Chain A
Amino acid sequence: MAFLRLSSPHAHGPQRTSRVMFWVILATLPGLLAQTLWFGWGNLVNTVFCVALALLTEGVILLLRKRPVAFFLKDNTAAVTGLLLGLSLPPFAPWWVCAVAVVVAILLAKQLYGGLGSNPFNPAMVGYALVLVSFPVAMTTNWASPTGLGADTPGLLHTIALNFTGAEPVDGYTMATPLDVYKHDIKTHLSSQVLQNPAFGDFVSKGWEWVNLGFLAGGLLLIALRLITWHIPVSLLAALSLMSLAFGWDPDRYAPLTIHLLSGATMLGAFFIATDPVTAATSRKGKLVYGAGIGILLYIIRTWGSYPDAVAFAVLLMNFAVPFIDYYTQPRTYGHQKARRVKSDQA
Chain B
Amino acid sequence: MANKTLKEIIKDGLWANNPALVQVLGLCPLLAVTGTVVNGIGLGLATLLVLVGSNLSVSLIRNFVSDSVRLPAFVMIIASFVTCAELLMQAYTYQLYEILGIFIPLIVTNCAILGRADGFASRNPVLLSVLDGFMMGAGFLAVLIVLGGIRELIGQGTLFSNMDLIFGAGASTWKIQVFDDYANVLFMILPPGAFVGLGFLIALKNGIDGQIRKRQAARDTQPVTTGSKRVRVTGNVS
Contact = CB atoms under 8 A, between A and B. Distances in A.
B69 interface: no
A97 to B, nearest CB: 8
Classify chain A's interface size: under 10
A108 B196 contact: yes
B196 A133 contact: no
A167 to B, nearest CB: 13
A334 interface: no
A96 B185 CA distance: 11
Interface in A108-161: 108, 130, 133-136, 138
B186 interface: yes
B174 interface: no
A131 to B, nearest CB: 8
7 tightest CB-CB pairs across the interface, nearest first?
A: A134-B187, A134-B186, A134-B185, A130-B187, A133-B187, A135-B183, A133-B186
A130 B183 CA distance: 14
A27 to B, nearest CB: 31
Contacts of B183: 96, 135, 138
8 contacts: A100-B185, A130-B187, A133-B186, A133-B187, A134-B185, A134-B188, A135-B183, A136-B186
Interface string B2-46: 000000000000000000000000000000000000000000000
Classify chain B's interface size: under 10
A96 B188 CA distance: 16
A135 B185 CA distance: 7
A143 B130 CA distance: 60
A135 B186 contact: yes
Nearest to A96: B183
B100 interface: no
A108, A133, A138 interface centre (most CB from chain B within 10 Å): A133
Interface string B184-204: 111110100000100000000
A15 B36 CA distance: 50
Interface in A81-100: 96, 100
Contacts of B196: 108
A133 B189 CA distance: 11
Interface in B123-178: none
Contacts of A135: 183, 185-186
Contacts of B187: 130, 133-134
Contacts of B190: 133
A88 to B, nearest CB: 18
